[in-house]
Amino acid sequence: MANVALPQQLPEIEAPRGWQVISQVRRLPVVPILILLVVLVLPAIFADQLAPHDPLKGSLRNRLQPPAWTQAEVVNGVEVKPGGSWNHILGTDKQGRDMLSRIIHGARISLTVSLIAVFIAGLIGTTLGLMAGYYGGWVDHLVMRIVDIGLSIPAILLALVLVSAIGASFGTVIIVIGGIFWSRYARMVRGDTLSIKSQDFVSRARVAGASNRRIMVRHIFPNVANTVIVLGTLEIGQVILLEATLSFLGAGIPRPTPAWGLMVSDGRELIVNAWWVAMFPGVAILLTVLSLNLFGDWVRDRLDPKLQNV
């Protein structure tokens, strides 16, 4: 058989620009994005305009109204269970507060907490990861040891200790979540930094007289930015879930703030008579986290497919 030399590199065939854009748009996870907009983003931004009622003020006369589509139950001409009214589409809670309005305002809490917490975690994790990978030596040892320890304490337990020491508040939740989630950034960024710093452009920058800080910020960081963004989007869902869990346990956002986890907690004791109080906020959490996970997967596949197993 004749030896046929294969070309070392096949010529890259580039699709026309317009087609590329269309194919990207077509692959967008449309349903998750729509759900995210409807359940999380739009309510969070326009809560005051969208909510039909005040989320904190209720009237006891309207307490525990069922959702609008519930029919009144009448036995022998006497109403034993009241029906719903379109004034409170998703019903009201024990204090007569409108469920829909509370869920809409709850989106604002979820989004704010998760964005700030993810940002803080990303900032700490990326900084420490860059330093550990770049400097190596004892810095690396120290940081990685802290990461190991951080990963070896179950998150909820750490949160419980912090909350019982400092007290539950908006700030505590953010500190707790930021303090728990930074270690994954540190680990990934350190790994990337290790491989990037041995490349030529880094040593050339050093020869050109760039300071360590400049090399880290201007030369290495842009190369790990994708990893950070992907981890961030993948983690927002988990952060929302953790915040809701902490609030549910009474170790998160304090009452009477309309946080989704708190609302489910209020509904737990009412489950026999008023299922809607626990049900709807839970659906909001589920839809949000589910879509965020799907969206995060998509972002990962676009930007950084090597993170497949994260």
Partner 1 sequence: MQRFIMVRAFHSLIALVAISVIVFGLARITGNPLDVLLPIEATQEDFDRVQRAWGLDKPLPLQYFKYVSNIFQGNFGESLKWQDKTAGELVISRFPATLQLASLAMIVSVVIALPIGVIAAVKKDTGIDYAGKVVALLGQSLPSFWLGIVLMWIFAVQLDLLPTSGKGGISHMILPAITLGFFQVAAIMRLTRSSLLEVLDTEFVKLARIKGVSERKVIWKHCLRNALITPLTYFGLILGSFLTGSVVTETVFAWPGVGLLAIDAVRARDFQVVQTVVLFFATIYIFANLLVDITYAYLDPRIRYD
C-beta closer to partner 1: residue 184 or 219: 184
Stretch that binds partner 1, among 1-9, 21-29, 121-129, 276-284 (CB under 8 A): 276-284
Token reading at 136: 């190596």
149 binds partner 1 (CB under 8 A): yes
End-to-end CA distance of the chain: 46
d(CA 52, CA 102): 10
DSSP 310: -
For residues 147 and 179, the answer to whether their CB atoms sit within 8 Å is: no
- Examine residue 80 and tell whether it contacts partner 1 (CB under 8 A): no
Cβ atoms 198, 140 nearer than 8 A: no
**Comparison of 22 and 149: residue with beta carbon closer to partner 1:** 149
What one-character DSSP code corresponds to residue 305?
A: G
- Supply 19's token pair: 């087609």
Q: Is 290 an interacting residue with respect to partner 1 (CB under 8 A)?
A: yes
Q: Using CB under 8 A, which residues numbered 236 to 275 contact partner 1?
A: 237-238, 241, 244-245, 248-251, 261, 264-265, 267-268, 271-272, 275
* Stretch (H or E) spanning 75: strand 73-75
Structure-block tokens of residue 294 = 């799907």
Quick one: which of 10, 13, 157, 208 contacts partner 1 (CB under 8 A)?
A: 157
What three-state secondary structure class fits 97? coil
Nearer to partner 1, 191 or 282 (CB): 282
State the binding string over 4-43 for partner 1 (x if CB under 8 A, else -): ----------------------------------------
Take residue 35 and report the two structure tokens written for it.
């759900």
How near is the Cβ of 43 to partner 1 at its closest, in Å? 18
Interaction with partner 1 in 101-120: which residues (CB under 8 A)?
none
Nearer to partner 1, 167 or 171 (CB): 167
* Of the residues 134, 278, 295, 304, which one makes contact with partner 1 according to CB under 8 A: 278
For residues 291 and 287, give the distance between their C-alpha atoms in angstroms, rounded to a whole number: 6
Among 9, 76, 152, 308, binds partner 1 (CB under 8 A): 152
Q: Rounded to an integer, what is the distance from CA 172 to the centroid of its chain?
A: 17
Cβ-based nearer residue to partner 1, 47 or 168: 168
Query: In terms of CB distance, is 41 or 249 closer to partner 1?
Result: 249
Q: What torsion, rounded to 10 degrees, do the Cα atoms 250, 253, 257, 258 define?
A: -80
| Least distance from partner 1 to the Cβ atom of residue 107, Å | 15
Taking the complex as a whole, how short is the minimal distance between the CB of residue 41 and partner 1, in angstroms? 17
Cα–Cα separations (whole angstroms), residue 260 to 188, 244, 249, 282:
31, 6, 12, 7
Helices (H) and strands (E) in the chain, counts: 13, 2
- Our CB check for partner 1 shows the closer of 178 and 237 to be 237
Contact positions toward partner 1, by CB under 8 A? 145, 148-149, 152-158, 160-167, 237-238, 241, 244-245, 248-251, 261, 264-265, 267-268, 271-272, 275, 278-279, 282, 285-286, 289-290, 293-294
